[in-house]
Amino acid sequence: MSAKFKSNKNAVLSQYNQNAAKALAMIGMAQNEIASMEVSALGAIDSGNLHDSMGYFVDDKDDKSVVVGNTVDYAHFVELGTRNMGARPFLRNSINNHKGTYRSIVQDTLGEGFDS
């Protein structure tokens, strides 16, 4: 009697990479929405630029990470404050207060496409 071995390594890695990219994109989108709500709640909206300039970048190749932020040149002054203005952290608050949301996204998404 003989047994044959068939490796599913490539299929598993491919599915994992797809799921990881999806989870990171979902985290980026959720973070944008949550940070925009933080900006609104802080009353940090004058022109709407800070609110409308939230963005994210997914690195699903090397680091498997998502970078979130804001593209307006004064966002760091709002986040960190200045000597004349107190900090109104909208990014740190939205990240720290919603870690469970991001953890759930990862847990729910990484297992998709695998048979139990």
pLDDT digits (tens, 9 = 90+) for 56-90: 999 877 788 999 988 999 999 989 999 999 998 88
Which stretches of the chain are assigned E, i.e. beta strand?
54-59, 65-70
| Band (103; pLDDT cuts 50, 70, 90) | very high
Average pLDDT of the chain?
Answer: 88
**Domain residue spans of the chain:** 9-109
pTM value? 0.81
